[in-house]
Amino acid sequence: KKKLKISGRELASVPAQVFGLDQLQVLEMSPERESCLRYRMELLPREISHLKNLTCLYVDSNNLKKIPAEIGTLSHLERLTLSNNSLSSLPPEMGALQRLHSLHLANNSLTELPAPLCQLRSLTFLDVSDNKIGTIPSSIRHLEKLETLLLLFNSLESLPEDVCLLRNLRTLWLGNNHLRSLPASFGELVNLDWGYNYCSCNFEGNPLESPPAEVCSRGPAEIRDYFLSFRRT
């Protein structure tokens, strides 16, 4: 078996036999598409390290409170979904997942963007919406391949200039934070389409004031109209 989905009403633990499937590549333990099921798994077992060939691990919508340090040994992991759990922190060993390109952390209890995430040089998708994140570390600039960054429903009051170094960003959602202004070099994120595609750039629910002149002059010509129309709504 290279792909395995575990489902069961009130799932609370991983069957021990799973960890003997050393050729397993995709493991799904999430009721995301099965609303009749409710999973209660609180801990991801340390034995997850036995699955050396895993490329995708789906554990959304459980009750996870902790991720073991052994997650860092899954060197082939490319996609990890941990949304809708009870995580307040992540182990520093996650920084070793250098093939990881998609990470879902929405709707947990994170209060900051964990430093290990900024070591994931292959990351192209990061969703940390609906947490309690109040600051973005300057080390985020190391995520040079990042294309999608979702930060909705957090507690951000400002963005570091380093976000503007993420020149590959195509989708940036900042809605429902506490932002009043943007970095002066924000307009240099030229791969955002500034509102022509609503899914690309989102600021709704922030007390944003008119951006500084530097933003309007450095970005595409349409950025001024975009912010002016946003301010009127």
* Residues facing 43 on adjacent strands: 66
| pTM confidence score | 0.88
CA end-to-end distance (rounded Å), the chain: 53
Q: What pLDDT does 168 receive?
A: 94
Mean pLDDT comparison of 71-80, 171-180, 215-224, highest-scoring range: 71-80
> Which residue is listed with tokens 């503007």?
164
How is residue 167 written in tokens?
């020149």
Would you say the CATH fold of 118-232 matches that of 1-109? yes
pLDDT at 39 over 90: no
* Residues facing 5 on adjacent strands: 28
Question: Would you identify the CATH topology of the domain 1-109?
Answer: 3.80.10
pLDDT at 124 over 60: yes
- Whether residue 12 contacts residue 41, with contact meaning beta carbons closer than 8 Å, is answered with yes
Helices (H), the chain: 213-218, 223-232
- Whether residue 61 contacts residue 31, with contact meaning beta carbons closer than 8 Å, is answered with yes
How is residue 39 written in tokens?
């999973």
pLDDT digits (tens, 9 = 90+) for 95-105: 999 999 999 99
Mean pLDDT computed over every residue of the chain: 86
Domain spans of the chain, in order of start: 1-109, 118-232
CATH architecture of 118-232: Alpha-Beta Horseshoe (3.80)
